[in-house]
Amino acid sequence: MNKLKSILSWLAKNWIILVSGLSLAGACTITFINVIVRYFFRSFVIIGGEELTTLFICWTVFVGAAQAYKEKMLFGIDVILNLMKPKMRSIAGVFIDIIVLVVSGYVSYLGWRLANSAWIRTTSNLSIPYFFVDVPLCIGFAMICYFDLKDLAGRVWALTHKTESPGEGA
Domain spans of the chain, in order of start: 2-160
Q: How confident is the model at residue 168 (pLDDT cuts 50, 70, 90)?
A: low
123 Cβ partners below 8 Å, 6+ apart?
48, 51, 130, 133
pLDDT in tens, 89-125: 889 989 999 999 999 999 999 999 999 999 899 999 9
pLDDT reading at 77 higher than 80 = no
The three-state DSSP-derived secondary structure of the chain is CHHHHHHHHHHHHHHHHHHHHHHHHHHHHHHHHHHHHHHHCCCCCCCCHHHHHHHHHHHHHHHHHHHHHHCCCCCCCCHHHHHCCHHHHHHHHHHHHHHHHHHHHHHHHHHHHHHHHCCCCECCCCCCECHHHHHHHHHHHHHHHHHHHHHHHHHHHHHHCCCCCCCCCC
User: HSE on the CB side for 129, CA within 13 Å?
Assistant: 10
Report, as an integer, the average pLDDT of 23-52.
91
Q: How confident is the model at residue 164 (pLDDT cuts 50, 70, 90)?
A: low
Q: What is the mean pLDDT of the chain?
A: 90
pTM of the model: 0.85
The confidence score (pLDDT) of residue 166 equals 58
Q: How confident is the model at residue 80 (pLDDT cuts 50, 70, 90)?
A: confident
Q: By percentage, how much of the chain surpasses pLDDT 70? A: 95
The confidence score (pLDDT) of residue 53 equals 95
Q: How confident is the model at residue 169 (pLDDT cuts 50, 70, 90)?
A: very low
